[in-house]
Structure 1
Amino acid sequence: MVSPGALSGPGGALTDVRLLSREPPLQRIYNVDDGQQGRFGLTERQESTLTAAYEHGCYGVPREVSLSELAEELDVSHQALSERLRRSHRALVENAVIIGEGVDNAGNG
Protein backbone atom coordinates (compact mmCIF):
# COMPACT_ATOMS: atom_id res chain seq x y z
CA MET A 1 0.00 0.00 0.00
CA VAL A 2 1.21 3.50 -0.86
CA SER A 3 1.10 6.09 1.87
CA PRO A 4 -1.03 9.21 1.18
CA GLY A 5 2.03 11.47 1.52
CA ALA A 6 3.82 9.63 -1.28
CA LEU A 7 1.09 10.57 -3.75
CA SER A 8 0.57 14.19 -2.81
CA GLY A 9 3.91 15.32 -1.38
CA PRO A 10 6.74 17.01 -3.26
CA GLY A 11 7.63 14.83 -6.24
CA GLY A 12 4.60 12.61 -5.62
CA ALA A 13 2.36 11.36 -8.43
CA LEU A 14 -0.42 13.88 -7.77
CA THR A 15 2.01 16.78 -7.82
CA ASP A 16 3.45 15.57 -11.12
CA VAL A 17 -0.02 15.20 -12.65
CA ARG A 18 -1.00 18.71 -11.54
CA LEU A 19 2.16 20.15 -13.10
CA LEU A 20 1.53 18.32 -16.36
CA SER A 21 -2.09 19.41 -16.53
CA ARG A 22 -1.37 23.12 -16.20
CA GLU A 23 -2.13 25.07 -19.34
CA PRO A 24 0.31 27.69 -20.55
CA PRO A 25 -0.60 31.29 -19.75
CA LEU A 26 -2.93 32.92 -22.26
CA GLN A 27 -1.15 35.47 -24.46
CA ARG A 28 -3.78 36.62 -26.98
CA ILE A 29 -7.17 35.51 -28.23
CA TYR A 30 -8.15 35.58 -31.90
CA ASN A 31 -11.34 34.33 -33.44
CA VAL A 32 -10.37 33.89 -37.07
CA ASP A 33 -13.81 32.51 -37.86
CA ASP A 34 -15.34 35.97 -37.48
CA GLY A 35 -14.02 37.03 -40.87
CA GLN A 36 -11.04 39.00 -42.04
CA GLN A 37 -11.36 42.24 -40.09
CA GLY A 38 -8.92 42.62 -37.24
CA ARG A 39 -6.95 39.44 -37.79
CA PHE A 40 -3.37 39.53 -36.56
CA GLY A 41 -3.77 43.05 -35.21
CA LEU A 42 -4.29 44.57 -38.65
CA THR A 43 -6.68 47.41 -39.32
CA GLU A 44 -9.09 46.97 -42.22
CA ARG A 45 -7.05 49.47 -44.28
CA GLN A 46 -3.78 47.66 -43.53
CA GLU A 47 -5.27 44.33 -44.51
CA SER A 48 -6.69 45.68 -47.77
CA THR A 49 -3.33 47.29 -48.57
CA LEU A 50 -1.44 44.03 -47.96
CA THR A 51 -3.97 42.16 -50.08
CA ALA A 52 -3.62 44.67 -52.93
CA ALA A 53 0.18 44.50 -52.68
CA TYR A 54 0.05 40.71 -52.89
CA GLU A 55 -2.46 40.65 -55.75
CA HIS A 56 -0.42 43.18 -57.78
CA GLY A 57 2.80 41.19 -57.37
CA CYS A 58 4.58 43.43 -54.89
CA TYR A 59 5.95 40.39 -53.02
CA GLY A 60 7.12 38.51 -56.09
CA VAL A 61 10.79 38.08 -56.87
CA PRO A 62 11.36 40.08 -58.89
CA ARG A 63 8.54 42.46 -58.07
CA GLU A 64 5.84 42.71 -60.70
CA VAL A 65 4.91 46.22 -59.56
CA SER A 66 6.88 49.02 -57.92
CA LEU A 67 5.71 50.74 -54.77
CA SER A 68 5.20 53.91 -56.80
CA GLU A 69 2.95 52.06 -59.26
CA LEU A 70 1.02 50.42 -56.44
CA ALA A 71 0.66 53.77 -54.65
CA GLU A 72 -0.78 55.28 -57.82
CA GLU A 73 -3.18 52.32 -58.17
CA LEU A 74 -4.33 52.79 -54.56
CA ASP A 75 -4.51 56.58 -54.95
CA VAL A 76 -2.09 57.30 -52.10
CA SER A 77 1.38 58.80 -52.00
CA HIS A 78 4.46 56.58 -52.16
CA GLN A 79 5.33 57.70 -48.61
CA ALA A 80 1.85 56.85 -47.26
CA LEU A 81 1.97 53.40 -48.87
CA SER A 82 5.46 52.71 -47.58
CA GLU A 83 4.49 53.68 -44.01
CA ARG A 84 1.26 51.67 -44.15
CA LEU A 85 3.10 48.58 -45.39
CA ARG A 86 5.74 48.91 -42.65
CA ARG A 87 3.07 49.25 -39.96
CA SER A 88 1.21 46.29 -41.45
CA HIS A 89 4.34 44.15 -41.53
CA ARG A 90 5.13 45.09 -37.93
CA ALA A 91 1.61 44.13 -36.79
CA LEU A 92 1.88 40.80 -38.60
CA VAL A 93 5.25 40.00 -37.07
CA GLU A 94 4.15 41.02 -33.57
CA ASN A 95 0.89 39.10 -33.73
CA ALA A 96 1.84 36.04 -35.76
CA VAL A 97 5.54 35.47 -35.15
CA ILE A 98 6.69 37.15 -31.92
CA ILE A 99 3.65 36.26 -29.78
CA GLY A 100 4.64 36.02 -26.14
CA GLU A 101 8.26 37.03 -26.61
CA GLY A 102 8.10 40.45 -25.00
CA VAL A 103 6.48 42.31 -27.87
CA ASP A 104 5.84 45.34 -25.68
CA ASN A 105 9.58 45.66 -25.10
CA ALA A 106 10.65 44.82 -28.65
CA GLY A 107 12.67 47.44 -30.48
CA ASN A 108 10.54 50.38 -31.52
CA GLY A 109 12.95 51.54 -34.16
Structure 2
Amino acid sequence: MNVENTQVQMRKGILEFCILHIISRGEVYASDMLEELTSAKIIVVEGTLYPLLTRLRKAGLLEYKWVESSAGPPRKYYKLTKDGKAFLDKLEETWDELQASTNQIISQNKTN
Protein backbone atom coordinates (compact mmCIF):
# COMPACT_ATOMS: atom_id res chain seq x y z
CA MET A 1 0.00 0.00 0.00
CA ASN A 2 1.28 3.45 -0.93
CA VAL A 3 1.14 6.12 1.80
CA GLU A 4 1.21 8.93 -0.77
CA ASN A 5 -2.04 7.69 -2.33
CA THR A 6 -3.76 7.70 1.05
CA GLN A 7 -2.44 11.19 1.79
CA VAL A 8 -3.79 12.45 -1.55
CA GLN A 9 -7.19 10.92 -0.83
CA MET A 10 -7.28 12.54 2.61
CA ARG A 11 -6.52 15.94 1.08
CA LYS A 12 -9.14 15.46 -1.64
CA GLY A 13 -11.68 14.61 1.03
CA ILE A 14 -11.38 18.02 2.64
CA LEU A 15 -10.76 20.07 -0.49
CA GLU A 16 -14.37 21.19 -0.98
CA PHE A 17 -14.59 22.20 2.69
CA CYS A 18 -11.40 24.25 2.43
CA ILE A 19 -12.50 25.95 -0.80
CA LEU A 20 -15.83 26.94 0.72
CA HIS A 21 -14.02 28.31 3.77
CA ILE A 22 -11.70 30.43 1.65
CA ILE A 23 -14.63 31.82 -0.34
CA SER A 24 -16.64 32.48 2.84
CA ARG A 25 -14.19 35.28 3.72
CA GLY A 26 -15.40 37.34 0.76
CA GLU A 27 -15.09 37.51 -3.00
CA VAL A 28 -12.02 35.67 -4.15
CA TYR A 29 -10.19 35.12 -7.41
CA ALA A 30 -9.49 31.50 -8.37
CA SER A 31 -5.72 31.92 -8.59
CA ASP A 32 -5.69 33.33 -5.05
CA MET A 33 -7.57 30.24 -3.88
CA LEU A 34 -5.11 28.03 -5.71
CA GLU A 35 -2.18 29.83 -4.10
CA GLU A 36 -3.61 29.40 -0.59
CA LEU A 37 -4.52 25.77 -1.15
CA THR A 38 -1.08 25.04 -2.58
CA SER A 39 0.74 26.74 0.28
CA ALA A 40 -1.37 24.71 2.73
CA LYS A 41 -0.46 21.55 0.77
CA ILE A 42 -4.13 20.79 0.10
CA ILE A 43 -3.98 21.06 -3.69
CA VAL A 44 -1.17 21.45 -6.16
CA VAL A 45 -2.82 21.30 -9.58
CA GLU A 46 -5.02 23.87 -11.27
CA GLY A 47 -6.97 21.17 -13.10
CA THR A 48 -8.53 20.04 -9.82
CA LEU A 49 -9.80 23.46 -8.71
CA TYR A 50 -11.76 24.68 -11.73
CA PRO A 51 -14.00 21.62 -12.20
CA LEU A 52 -14.80 21.71 -8.48
CA LEU A 53 -15.70 25.41 -8.63
CA THR A 54 -17.97 24.70 -11.59
CA ARG A 55 -19.66 21.85 -9.73
CA LEU A 56 -20.20 24.01 -6.63
CA ARG A 57 -21.62 26.81 -8.79
CA LYS A 58 -24.01 24.44 -10.59
CA ALA A 59 -25.14 23.16 -7.18
CA GLY A 60 -26.08 26.72 -6.24
CA LEU A 61 -23.43 27.05 -3.53
CA LEU A 62 -21.31 29.64 -5.35
CA GLU A 63 -21.81 32.52 -7.70
CA TYR A 64 -19.30 34.66 -9.49
CA LYS A 65 -18.93 38.01 -11.14
CA TRP A 66 -16.56 39.26 -13.78
CA VAL A 67 -14.32 42.18 -12.81
CA GLU A 68 -12.26 44.12 -15.33
CA SER A 69 -8.51 43.94 -14.77
CA SER A 70 -5.92 46.52 -15.78
CA ALA A 71 -3.36 43.72 -15.99
CA GLY A 72 -5.17 41.62 -18.58
CA PRO A 73 -8.50 39.94 -19.24
CA PRO A 74 -11.42 40.24 -16.81
CA ARG A 75 -11.23 38.12 -13.68
CA LYS A 76 -13.90 35.86 -12.23
CA TYR A 77 -14.47 36.43 -8.50
CA TYR A 78 -16.38 33.81 -6.51
CA LYS A 79 -18.57 34.23 -3.45
CA LEU A 80 -20.87 31.98 -1.44
CA THR A 81 -24.60 32.05 -1.97
CA LYS A 82 -27.02 31.84 0.94
CA ASP A 83 -27.30 28.10 0.26
CA GLY A 84 -23.51 27.89 0.14
CA LYS A 85 -23.24 29.47 3.59
CA ALA A 86 -25.81 27.02 5.01
CA PHE A 87 -23.96 24.12 3.35
CA LEU A 88 -20.65 25.28 4.84
CA ASP A 89 -22.25 25.58 8.28
CA LYS A 90 -23.32 21.91 8.05
CA LEU A 91 -19.85 20.88 6.89
CA GLU A 92 -18.38 22.76 9.87
CA GLU A 93 -20.56 20.72 12.24
CA THR A 94 -19.39 17.53 10.55
CA TRP A 95 -15.75 18.65 10.67
CA ASP A 96 -16.00 19.39 14.41
CA GLU A 97 -17.54 15.96 15.03
CA LEU A 98 -14.95 14.16 12.90
CA GLN A 99 -12.10 16.03 14.50
CA ALA A 100 -13.34 15.19 18.01
CA SER A 101 -13.91 11.54 17.08
CA THR A 102 -10.52 11.22 15.43
CA ASN A 103 -8.75 12.86 18.37
CA GLN A 104 -10.55 10.49 20.74
CA ILE A 105 -9.32 7.48 18.79
CA ILE A 106 -5.79 8.82 18.40
CA SER A 107 -5.54 9.69 22.08
CA GLN A 108 -6.23 6.03 22.95
CA ASN A 109 -2.97 5.11 21.22
CA LYS A 110 -1.10 7.60 23.40
CA THR A 111 -2.51 6.24 26.66
CA ASN A 112 -1.88 2.57 25.90
Indicate the TM-score class for this superposition, using the shorter chain for normalisation.
0.3 to 0.5
Between Structure 1 and Structure 2, the one with more helix by share is 2
TM-score by length of 2: 0.32
* Structure (1 or 2) with the larger CA radius of gyration: 1
Between Structure 1 and Structure 2, the one with more strand by share is 2
TM-score by length of 1: 0.32
